[in-house]
Amino acid sequence: MSSGADLLDAGKAALDEGDWARARSLLSDALLREETAETLYHLARAVEWSGDYREAIEYYERAYVAARDLGQIRLPMFIAGRVLCALHAAVYGNEAVAAGWLARARSLAKEAGECVEAGWVALAEARITDDPAEKDVHVREATRIADVFGDANLRFCALGHEGTALVLAGRIAEGMRRLDEAATAATSGEVSDYDTAGEIYCHMLLCCELTMDVRRVRQWMTIGTSFGSRSNAPWVSAICRTHYGGVLTAAGRWEDAERELESSIALYDASYGALRSSAIVRLADLRVRQGRYDEAARLLAGSEFDSYAVRPLARLHLARGECDVARRILRRFLPNSGDHAMYAPELALLAEVELAGGRVEEARALCRRLAAIAAESDVPRFRALAEYTAGIVCAAAGEPAALGHLEAALPQFAASELPLEEARTRLAISQLLADTVPEVAVAEARSALAAFDALAAVTDADATASHLRSLGQSGRTAPRGAGALTRRESEVLARIAEGLTNDEIATRLYISKRTVEHHVSSIFGKLGVTTRAEAVVHALRDES
């Protein structure tokens, strides 16, 4: 019979090999022979990476207590600051408990002095603060400690945080270089810790979404999700798919975006359930772009203070003519000064809101802030936003510079692979030229309408068709559809036709009930129906 120590060593070796099931079995046997802080800690790791997050939290807490009972400082500090702080927030959404564990880690760090574990506590501090200067202090401290002790995991994790902080500060090219290096280290095996590698991939995908770096996200997305699947880390795939879904939405690949976001929601349900709202609000953003406002409103309910929900919420209220509400949401989110590139989309949207409310001078002031961002940025998307906003403000003021700004925005939106924004710019050009160069106005409007119809951006398409009719043209040569059903939507419709409930469909197709509800809403919108019976009639008619 193997001793507890032998089983512990074998369990740790299995962890290093990524064999979570074997590690869990060996470490569970070791724990039966002798309950030690070390065995509890490594068993917690095996349980976590096996996907049992709530049970893992219990083992981590037992390991913390056992280590403290022995008077240890470094392991309890690491468990409290690196692990329990993050898990309580991500799994349970309990920010108070998470803050308590971080506070405990902070106190232990003062007792421990300089050690690698103190560097992980510094990164935990960096993760929770929104103050760029404070974040920079913590990341620099983690980097310094990593260099002193030669710890590659800490060093590259800190590099990922540093890259993200630079992107958030508007130093995008510099930040993405650091993220590329950190992600390459994770891929090459220089990063040996699975949590660290997963965190680095998530940082990379977040920054790709923030900058709408469509090309880079394609290159790293496969690696990040493959890592999540290979290492049985659904939270990694969930976070990566969330950000990828956001990029796909902006890039006009809406069917792909919907698939990624629905997959993300299901993965969150199996892992970091408290973070699922991040995918929900991105799905709401997609619904707003599609003109499916009722669905968007349901998805956004209770998300007013989510930073990513700011734009879809504001645009939803703008579409409903509630300019003052949209204005309040955006102004509460935006700083009064100290703009950086990441605020450009909200500033541009606020300018649209101000124009809709007849506040041209307020919109002009926002143009100046956008122009300052564009002057410091090497990202076409931000320059395009500045030019587009200047164009619609000048148009509202009757100034001749409007056309030049809009024409400058057009190729930059195209280069950024943002088809919705490109089409909206064409529509703005058409509206500007309607009285003076009607033939060009018609051509631009028809190009915009084709793009909106291809995207199934219903509200934008209807507005453009109306504009074409005002130019004496037919709005459409054929009836507009809201887009063909996806393969999964067709499967759901077939199950509806069988008379199955949403719960029964979820069981039959091995998806969550919430995902079924999203598909049903999408089917109703595309078919132009409001009841299941009407949907069944559609399905039967198509089969005949």
d(CA 241, CA 253): 14
Nearest to 62 by CA among 46, 32, 81, 84: 84
Q: Out of 68-77, 166-175, 503-512, which region has the weakest mean confidence (pLDDT)?
A: 503-512
* Per-residue model confidence (pLDDT) at position 475: 67
Which range in 15-24, 112-121, 222-231 is most confidently predicted, on average pLDDT? 112-121
Q: How many other C-beta atoms lie within 10 A of the C-beta of residue 305? A: 11
One CATH from 3.30.365.10, 3.40.190.10, 3.40.920.10, 1.10.10.10 for 487-543 = 1.10.10.10
Average pLDDT of 246-253? 92
* pLDDT: which is higher, 158 or 210: 158
Q: Find the mean pLDDT for residues 308-326.
A: 94
pLDDT of 424 > 70? The answer is yes
Spatial distance between the Cα atoms of 144 and 343, rounded to a whole number of angstroms: 31
* Mean pLDDT value of segment 254-278: 90
- Under the banding of pLDDT at 50, 70 and 90, the label for residue 540 is low
Q: What is the mean pLDDT of residues 362-383?
A: 90
Q: Which two tokens stand for residue 411?
A: 């190729």
pLDDT of 478 strictly over 60: no
Residue 337's CB is within 10 A of a number of other CB atoms, namely 6
Residue pair 205/221 in contact (Cβ under 8 Å)? The answer is yes
When comparing pLDDT for 67 and 487, which is higher?
Answer: 67
Q: Sorting pLDDT into bands at 50, 70 and 90, what band is 228? A: low
Q: What pLDDT is stored for residue 429 in this prediction?
A: 97
- 444-468 pLDDT per residue, tens: 999 999 999 899 888 899 899 999 9
What number is the average pLDDT over the span 420-434? 96
Whole-structure pTM value: 0.80
- Per-residue pLDDT band for 142 (boundaries 50, 70, 90) equals very high
Q: What's 190's DSSP letter?
A: S
State the pLDDT confidence band at 265, using cuts at 50, 70 and 90: very high
pLDDT band at 542 (very low <50, low <70, confident <90, very high): low
Q: What percent of the chain has pLDDT over 90?
A: 61
CA distance 318 to 325: 8
**Per the structure block, which two tokens stand in for 105?**
């880690």
DSSP state of 531: S
Q: Which two tokens stand for residue 526?
A: 């595309």
Give the least confident one: 10-19, 311-320, 435-444: 10-19
- If phi > 0 it is left, if psi is from -120 to 50 it is alpha, else beta; for residue 124 that is alpha
Residue of higher predicted confidence among 377 and 423: 423
Helix or strand or coil: residue 231? Answer: coil
Burial of 478 (0-12, 13-18, 19+ CB in 10 A): exposed
Mutual angle of helices 323-333 and 344-356, in 10-degree steps? 150
Mean pLDDT within 343-369:
95
Higher pLDDT, 132 or 309: 309
525 pLDDT higher than 90: no
How sure is the predictor about 215, in pLDDT bands with cuts at 50, 70 and 90? confident
How far apart, in whole angstroms, are the C-alpha atoms of residue 383 and residue 415?
11
